[in-house]
Amino acid sequence: MAALTENMLVVNILLSVFFLPGDLADYCYGGLTPALRITTPNNMEALTGSCLQIPCTYETENTEFNSSRSIYGVWIKGGNAPYNVIFNSSGSVNTFQLEIIGNLKEKNCTTLFPNLATSHADKYLFRIENYPFRAFACADPLQITIKDSPWSPSINVPSDLKEHQSVTVTCSAFTPCPHSPPELTWNLQQDSLRQTEENTDGTFTTKIQETITLSDTHDGYNITCSAKYPVIGGTKTAETEVTLSVSYAPKDTSASISPSGLVSAGSWVELSCSSRAKPPPRFTWFRISKYGTFNVSVGQVFSFCVTERGEFYCMATNDLGNQRSSVILLSIKGNL
Ligand SMILES: *[C@@H]1O[C@H](CO)[C@@H](O)[C@H](O)[C@H]1NC(C)=O
Ligand SMILES: *[C@@H]1O[C@H](CO)[C@@H](O)[C@H](O)[C@H]1NC(C)=O
Ligand SMILES: *[C@@H]1O[C@H](CO)[C@@H](O)[C@H](O)[C@H]1NC(C)=O
Ligand SMILES: *[C@@H]1O[C@H](CO)[C@@H](O)[C@H](O)[C@H]1NC(C)=O
Ligand SMILES: *[C@@H]1O[C@H](CO)[C@@H](O)[C@H](O)[C@H]1NC(C)=O
């Protein structure tokens, strides 16, 4: 008996705290649980002059709720009393030309905000009116923040790129309104696969995607992607750039000799090897003789005192492969 009166007291306090004047009279809590919950991102960013689609679903455990009766969705700006009703899906109030595009009977309160301005940055509360059931989603306020410059797209490239690999590169951009998505362009092929997808939280992302087969020429290549957002009276653009880093086996391996031409026995010559490779290559020198081919030196430069004619080549090696230079002939004056 004592416990019962205590519970009633708690309910009474809650009811009196959240009881409101006139038409808005209702409650936030049924007992100790919220009377109405909505699922929406807690915080949404919008762009000035652009629209914003607010994903929203609602639920209530209150037995007074009956979807066969008319349901009105109401948005309130400010989040606190005095309540500023900006939208009532009955059509009675619509200060910012909002539209509930979700089906309220299916508990979908997805709302379209057509043209955001800085003054719209605020906390918004959602409310359902389904007489006699009426409740605010007090526990789930939506914060809208407004920015003046658009979201930079993000470029996604797998890590650890190697030549001959086929990789999928994606450029994606936050899409505040799926019916007017940003236009994405980049310096890869223009007819890339393009799509606007719904994320798990009900927001949308627009992507372009391209599969490229990597070669050494892609190393150091800059991919730039720009997202052009339609806004009232024009567009707003943001750009992102990434530089590809592609590993490749040695290329253009060549050997040179200094001094060039005929040399005298007893003089010094220097053989030098060059190659393009990523990561940088190691060099090994080989000598071809009538007894076979021998590994004679390690390192980019091989200097020695000439005693006899010879044929040499170098080999550049890294983790991805190796490449041989063409053969250099060392000829000695007056001695063939
Ligand atoms: C819901 O409302 C309809 C129409 O007023 C009524 O026929 C139905 O019995 C109600 N359902 C419940 C569960 O109260
Ligand atoms: C919403 O509109 C309905 C129908 O006109 C009205 O009964 C109700 O009081 C309105 N609610 C608010 C919060 O303005
Ligand atoms: C709610 O309605 C919107 C607009 O029609 C739709 O895009 C979204 O998928 C719906 N959400 C759910 C959970 O059904
Ligand atoms: C790629 O971008 C970087 C940084 O902006 C720049 O230094 C570099 O020159 C660019 N590379 C090419 C190939 O344009
Ligand atoms: C060449 O010889 C060096 C020293 O013996 C050895 O470390 C290296 O692995 C050899 N390189 C090749 C390609 O055989």
Secondary structure (DSSP) of 36-66:
-EEES-SEEEEETTS-EEE--EEE---TT--
pTM: predicted TM-score of the whole model, two decimal places: 0.81
Q: Where are the domains of the chain?
A: 2-147, 154-244, 248-330
Q: In CATH terms, are 2-147 and 248-330 the same topology?
A: yes
Render pLDDT for 281-303 as a digit per residue (tens, 0 to 9): 999 999 998 899 999 999 999 99
Average pLDDT over residues 36-49: 95
Which is the closest atom of ligand 3 to the Cα of 106? 14
For the structural domain made of 2-147, what CATH number should be given? 2.60.40.10
| Site to substitute for ligand 3 among 58, 89, 110, 111, most atoms within 8 A of C-beta | 110
Between the alpha carbon of residue 321 and those of residues 192, 212, 213, 279, the distances in Å are 32, 21, 18, 11
- Does domain 248-330 fall under CATH 2.60.40.10? My reply is yes
For residue 243, the ligand closest to its alpha carbon is 4
Which is the closest atom of ligand 2 to the Cα of 127? 13
Render pLDDT for 177-205 as a digit per residue (tens, 0 to 9): 999 999 999 999 877 778 999 999 999 99
- CATH architecture label of 154-244: Sandwich (2.60)
Q: Is 106 exposed, middle or buried (0-12, 13-18, 19+ CB in 10 A)?
A: exposed
Render pLDDT for 242-253 as a digit per residue (tens, 0 to 9): 999 999 999 999
Render pLDDT for 157-167 as a digit per residue (tens, 0 to 9): 999 999 999 99
Q: Please work out whether the CB of residue 24 comes within 6 Å of at least one atom of ligand 2.
A: yes
Q: Please work out whether the CB of residue 90 comes within 6 Å of at least one atom of ligand 2.
A: yes
Render pLDDT for 126-150 as a digit per residue (tens, 0 to 9): 999 998 888 989 889 999 999 999 9
Average pLDDT over residues 57-61: 94
Share above pLDDT 90 across residues of the chain, in percent, rounded to a whole number: 77
CB 285 within 8 A of CB 314: yes
Q: Report how far residue 36's alpha carbon sits from residue 278's, in angstroms, rounded to the nearest whole number.
A: 60
Residues with CB under 6 A from ligand 4: 220, 222, 243
| pLDDT beyond 80 at 30 | no
**Element of type H or E holding 10:** helix 2-18
Q: Please work out whether the CB of residue 102 comes within 6 Å of at least one atom of ligand 3.
A: yes
| Site to substitute for ligand 4 among 217, 221, 243, 244, most atoms within 8 A of C-beta | 243
